[in-house]
Structure 1
Amino acid sequence: MNAAEIHDKAIVIDGLICAKWNRELFEDMAKGKLTAANCTVSFWENFEGTVRNVVEMNQLIEANSDLLLKVRTTKDIHRAKAEGKTGVMMGFQNAHAFEDQIGYVQVFKDLGVGIVQMCYNTQNLVGTGCYERDGGLSGYGREIVAEMNRVGMLCDLSHVGPNTAKEVIIESTKPVAYSHCLPAGLKEHPRNRTDEELKFIADNGGFVGVTMFAPFLKAGINATIDDYVEAIQYIYNIVGEDAIGIGTDFTQGHGYDFFEYLTHDKGYARRLTRFGEIINPLGMRTVGDFPNLTEALLKHGFSERQVVKIMGENWVNLLEEVWGE
């Protein structure tokens, strides 16, 4: 089979998208033949604000039901593939929405949230993010991990501090993930993971989704799809072919205000970082370019079987293990 045929046949999953949700994006997802995506519905929002975001996402899925369906189980991912739609997996980039209520974990699971990042860049009640001194997982955090394990919710560690991440990996009875990260071995950055961290999560049954967010790539805004594949290859060589997938971190359609919100603590307080200009790698400018990634992986020597795993099959296996269905 050629690259286009392999892409058509494969389940294609993006482990993290926080784009501007609208019809134009959903049409681009269809163009890219994206089977499912972890779509962020919470950054700094509290319980009530996050519920409102879930309501809005439900309304978008309903209004665009010719293109989208809501994912609660891996069966829904297979259904999205069969129907030629994109499955929306609702996820958080911060456990802040749980506030101090362990019972909210079940509430959000019932609403369809299947993936939650423990911290977003800074300290919360669970643990510490990657932009400040990391005190590790709190006692409450251990209870949250246990509850997420119980209800079947994936612990995401992408923006989490190294100590907190390690303790979640040890604490969790189910596999956990960096849904969207890059290797520090190619570029030093607080958001990138060392070889030791990557090996540790894989050795403990975890998973790594590789991002292409330009500020974290070695070539920055000059990066091409080949630079992205280089990062995938780097991580692949550490974690192996069963523990790796894609998590682009597409921010398609967003402007200056959105990135100001992301780069300040709580969305409004102290500045944590500056991203500078953000240009996605040449060849992966939009979600619609996903077929180019299948082609690039094959061109760089990955086998058809390995490409199918990386593009989505590994994600499905991970989620089935965590979600239980």
Structure 2
Amino acid sequence: MNAAELHQDAIIIDGLICAKWNRELFEDMSKGGLTAANCTVSFWENFQNTVNNVVEMNQLIDASSDLLIKVQSTADIHRAKQEGKTGVMMGFQNANAYEDQIGYVKVFKDLGVGIVQMCYNTQNLVGTGCYERDGGLSGFGREIVGEMNRVGVLCDLSHVGAKTSEEVILESKQRVAYSHCLPSGLKDHPRNKSDAELKFIADHGGFVGVTMFAPFLKNGIDSTIEDYVEAIEYIYNIVGEDSIGIGTDFTQGQDQNFFEYLTHDKGYARRLTRFGKIINPEGIRTVGDFPNLTEALLRRGFSETQVRKIMGENWVTLLKDVWGA
């Protein structure tokens, strides 16, 4: 099977996209052969504004039902594959939308939110993000983890501080994930994870999705798809072939205001970081270029079985473990 045939046949999952949601993007997802994607519907928003975002996403899915289906189970991912559509998995990059209400975990799960990052860059009621002194998982945070475990929501630790992450990994009765991260072994950055952190999550049954967000890659905006594959291989060599997947962090179609929102605490307060110019790696500039990644992995020497796992099968296994059959 050649690269194009393999890509067409395999389940392809992107574990994190926070692009501008519109018809043009959904058409590009289709072009890229995406079976499903974790689509961010909350960063700093509170409960009400996050509900509004879910409403808007539901409307977008309905309006593009020829291209999309809403994912609430792994069966929906397989159905998306059979129907040649892209499954939309709704996710949060911050537990802020839960406010101080444990019951909101199930409310959002019932609405289709099955992946939630504990914190986004800074402190919230659950724990601490990666851009400030890490106080660890709060008592309330332990209750939130317990409820996420109970109702079947994946704990995501991508933007979470090292201590809070470690405590979530130990607290959770279910598998957890870094849905989109890179190794600090290739570039030292607050958002990148050390070899020890990568090994720790894998040793405790967790999962690592590898991002291609240029500011965190070794060669920054000069990166190519080969640099991305190098990072995938680096993490693969630490966590093994069953604990790794893709989480691009595609921000396709977003403007400068969006990045200003992301890089300030709560979206408006103190500046946390500057990304500078954002250019995706050459060879995978848009979601439509996804087939190039399958080809690049094969070229790197990964076997067909390994490529299938990395490109999507491992994500399905993880979500089935957390969400239930």
TM-score (normalizing by structure 2): 1.00
Q: What corresponds to 1:116 in structure 2? A: 116
How big is the shift at 1:307?
A: 0.1
Aligned-residue offset at 1:121:
0.2
Whole-angstrom CA distance in 2 between matches of 1:177 and 1:108: 19
Q: Percent identity?
A: 82
Which residue of the partner structure matches residue 156 of structure 1?
A: 156
Q: Distance in 2 between matches of 1:49 and 1:165?
A: 26
* Alpha-carbon distance, 1:235 to partner: 0.0
Equivalent-residue separation in structure 2 for 1:307 and 1:146 (angstroms): 33
2:54 and 2:165 map into 1 onto residues whose CA distance is 26
Q: Distance in 2 between matches of 1:153 and 1:17?
A: 18
Shift of 1:243: 0.1
**What is the letter of the counterpart of residue 39 of structure 1?**
C
Note the alpha carbon deviations across 1:226-272, whole angstroms, 9 max, x for none.
Answer: 00000000000000000000000000000100000000000000000
Aligned mates of 1:183, 1:98 — CA distance in 2: 30
Equivalent residue number for residue 261 of structure 2: 261
Match of 1:55 in 2: 55
Please tell me the residue identity of whatever aligns with 1:110.
Answer: D
Aligned counterparts, 1:282-293, within 5 A:
282-293=282-293
> Which residue identity does 2:154 align to in structure 1?
L
Are positions 1:228 and 2:228 aligned together?
yes
Give per-residue Cα distances to partners, 1:188-218, cap 9 Å, x unaligned.
Answer: 0000000000000000000000000000000
Give, in whole Å, the separation in 2 of the partners of 1:303 and 1:27. Answer: 29
Residue matched to 2:172 = 172
Structure 1 position 5, deviation (Å): 0.5
Cα separation, 2, equivalents of 1:103 and 1:5:
45
| Partners of 1:220 and 1:255 in 2: CA distance | 19
- 1:246 paired residue number: 246
CA distance in 2, matches of 1:313, 1:247: 13
| Number of the residue aligned with 2:10 | 10
Unaligned runs of 5+ in 2: none
In structure 1, the partner of 2:83 is: 83
Q: Which AA in structure 2 matches 1:21?
A: W
Tell me, in whole angstroms, the C-alpha distance in 2 between the residues paired with 1:256 and 1:239. Answer: 35
2:287 maps to a residue whose letter is V
Give yes or no for the alignment of 1:193 onto 2:193.
yes
Aligned to 2:279: 279
Q: Secondary structure at the match of 1:311?
A: helix
Deviations 1:130-171 (A, max 9, x none): 000000000000000000000000000000000000000000
Letter aligned with residue 201 of structure 1? I
3-state DSSP of counterpart to 1:7: helix
Q: Deviations over 1:91-114 (max 9, x none)?
A: 000000000000000000000000
Residue number in structure 1 paired with 2:323: 323
Structure 1: unaligned runs, 5 residues or longer: none
> Aligned partners of 1:40, 1:222: CA distance in 2, in Å?
26
Cα distance between partner residues in 2 of 1:256 and 1:98: 27
Aligned to 1:127: 127
Partner letter of residue 28 of structure 1? D
Counterpart AA for 1:278: I
> Aligned partners of 1:46, 1:223: CA distance in 2, in Å?
35
Three-state SS of the structure 1 residue aligned to 2:305 is helix
Q: Which runs of 4+ in 1 moved over 4 A?
A: none
2:209 equivalent in structure 1: 209
Secondary structure class of the residue paired with 2:16 = strand
Once the two structures are superposed, what CA deviation does each residue of 1:79-102 show, in whole Å capped at 9, x if it has no partner?
A: 000000000000000000000000
**Aligned partners of 1:87, 1:55: CA distance in 2, in Å?**
17
TM-score (norm 1): 1.00
Distance (whole Å) between structure 2 residues aligned to residue 15 and residue 191 of structure 1: 16
Please give the alpha-carbon distance, in whole angstroms, between the structure 2 residues aligned to 1:284 and 1:190.
24
SS at 2:237's partner residue? Answer: helix
* 2:292 aligned partner, one-letter code: N
Amino acid at match of 1:186: L
Distance (Å, rounded) in 2 between the aligned partners of 1:284 and 1:74? 26
Residue type of the alignment partner of 2:202: A
How many correspondences in the alignment? 325
Aligned mates of 2:271, 2:174 — CA distance in 1: 34
